[in-house]
Amino acid sequence: MHWITAPQESPAEADSGFLEVFREDQLIYRAITPPGAAHRAAFPYREKRDLRIRYGGFSDSLDKHETTLYFSENPAKSPVQFDKVDSVFVIGDVHGQYDNLVRLLGNAKLIDANRSWQARRAHLVLLGDLFDRGDDVTKCLWFLYRLEREAEARGGRVHVLLGNHEIMAFLNDLRYTSEKEKRIAQYHQTGYTAMFHVKESVLGRWLASKPALIKINNILLAHGGVSPPFTAFTLQSFNDSLYAFLQEDEFPSLLQEGVATVRGDATLYARRLYFFFGDNSVFWQRGYIMSDTLKNDLKKTLDRFKAKYHVVAHTPVTRLQSFYGGRVFAVDLHNPATEMLLIVSNPYRDKIYRCLLEGKPEPLF
């Protein structure tokens, strides 16, 4: 366990850290760490039972926090298709803009004043790219890690999809990572990518279990978009392949110079590069937003997945926009997490809105 305590004006005033670990209501571990800004404590734990941890500064009454770590289920088996959902909210690239995110969710009444889920059976979809550019990526991740479980317990859902920047972070491509985020890893004397290792960290295992392609009602959702080369997959087979690729021992070296094979097979290596980084990949596709000539491709994709709408992020727009006669919606904004798409299911005509940081939702068209 690693945590950071509130900074002090001088090293001499630095606080000790404290950690308490509970299994259900039983205290199973407690530690007081030496004074400093970064703290660490380790203990063996092999049970598949959730842990509740309390941590912070030993003397600072305001620096007290609580987090539940979920080990009791296998998130890799999460469903990727949902029906009969009344309200679907979709946010594009958040890029570490925590304040915008919670303000947007609060104004839409998805969360309450304590930032806990209150939207009952509504579904919230985040279309990837939580990572990079902004200063509060780690804060966003822990917030959504908790909110996901709260929503499910109340009959709703929070869906975190993977985007190209999640894949880049897994592979140590940190060109767009903010200095503040890098400093967190420096405090803990580790690499930034190690904080999200897909097998050795809580957040990494959680993220690696996430899909990149889901369908809710008649809505197909992906970070970049689905083009005909990827319609050979089903929803399940695409996400099963994604999970399997992320778990391979060779995955972390996918972008390293001189690496030309996966398990000795250059063809497999090329397939993985195309899956994650090809121009038409689900993570990088921009065609539906950058071009108005892909009507046939879009029809093939929507027909393949029996969908009416395709909602995508990745390609920035000034405001939420629709393309191809209202069949495609673009939700990645130049100013991240300042608007959110809402599709309200209706047997006669779906209602589609733009949710803002303040005020009531506006009809999109």
Report pLDDT digits (tens) over 16-36: 999 999 999 999 999 999 999
Q: Is the pLDDT of residue 167 over 70?
A: yes
Other CB atoms within 10 A of residue 169 CB: 23
When the pLDDT of each residue in the chain is averaged and rounded to a whole number, the result is 93
Residue 109: predicted pLDDT: 98
pLDDT per residue as tens digits for the range 62-116: 999 999 999 876 555 568 999 999 999 999 999 999 999 999 999 999 999 999 9
Residue 73: predicted pLDDT: 63
Cα–Cα distance measured from residue 13 to residue 11, given in angstroms and rounded to the nearest whole number: 5
Q: State CA 318 to chain mean position distance.
A: 22
Whole-number Cα distances in Å, 364 to 68, 91, 321: 38, 15, 8
Residues found in the chain = 365
Residue 52, SS3? Answer: strand
pTM for this entry: 0.95
Domains of the chain by range and CATH?
A: 2-69 (2.60.40), 75-363 (3.60.21.10)
Residue 99: predicted pLDDT: 98
Cα–Cα distance measured from residue 295 to residue 302, given in angstroms and rounded to the nearest whole number: 10
Cα–Cα distance measured from residue 207 to residue 210, given in angstroms and rounded to the nearest whole number: 5
Residue 172: predicted pLDDT: 95
Phi, psi dihedrals of residue 230, rounded to the nearest 5°: -105, 5
Cα–Cα distance measured from residue 142 to residue 150, given in angstroms and rounded to the nearest whole number: 13
pLDDT per residue as tens digits for the range 233-270: 999 999 999 999 999 998 998 888 666 555 567 788 88
Residue 267: predicted pLDDT: 81
Of the candidate ranges 5-19, 256-270, 337-351, the one whose mean pLDDT is the lowest: 256-270
Give me the DSSP letters along 290-332.
Answer: H-S--HHHHHHHHHHTT-SEEEE-SS-BSS-EEETTTTEEE--
* Nearest residue to 144 via CA among 207, 77, 221: 207
